[in-house]
Chain A
Amino acid sequence: MIKSNSESGTSLRHVVKILNAEVLTGEEPLDQTVQHVECTDLMSQVLAFIKSGNLLLTGLTNIQVVNTADISGLIGVVFVRGRSPSKEVIAKAKEVGLPLFLTSYSMYEAAGHLYLNGLPGSTE
Chain B
Amino acid sequence: MHYPRHEFPIKEMDFVRAGEASLQVKKILREMKAENDLVRRATIACYEAEINAVVYGRDGVMSLEVDDEGIYIYVEDKGDGIPDIEQAMMEGFSTATEEIREMGFGAGMGLPNIMKNADEFTISSAVGEGTRLKIIFRSGWTTEEA
Please report A residues at the B interface, Cβ cutoff 8 Å: 41-45, 47-48, 52, 58, 60, 62-65, 67-68, 70-73, 88
Evaluate contact between B104 and A42: CB separation under 8 angstroms.
yes
- Tell me, yes or no, whether B113 is within 8 Å of chain A by CB: yes
B116 vs chain A, min Cβ distance (A): 7
**B107 contacts partner chain A, Cβ-Cβ < 8 Å:** yes
The 7 closest A-B pairs by CB, nearest first: A67-B19, A44-B109, A43-B104, A44-B107, A48-B113, A42-B107, A60-B104
Chain A residues whose C-beta falls within 8 Å of the C-beta of B66 in the assembled complex:
none
B16 is contacted by which of A43, A52, A63, A73 (Cβ under 8 Å)?
A63
Known: A47-B44, A47-B113. A71 touches B22 (CB 8 A): yes
| A43–B107 CA distance with the chains assembled, in angstroms | 8
**Which of B16, B47, B112 is the one whose CB lies under 8 Å from A71?**
B47
Distance of A39 from chain B, by nearest CB (Å): 13
Q: Are A67 and B23 in contact (CB under 8 A)?
A: yes
25 example contacts (A-B, Cβ-Cβ < 8 A) are as follows A42-B104, A42-B107, A43-B104, A43-B105, A44-B48, A44-B107, A44-B110, A45-B107, A47-B47, A47-B48, A47-B113, A52-B40, A60-B103, A63-B15, A63-B16, A64-B15, A64-B18, A64-B105, A68-B47, A71-B22, A71-B23, A71-B43, A71-B44, A71-B47, A88-B16
User: Which residues of chain B in 89-125 are interfacial with respect to chain A, using CB atoms and an 8 Å cutoff?
Assistant: 103-105, 107-110, 112-113, 116
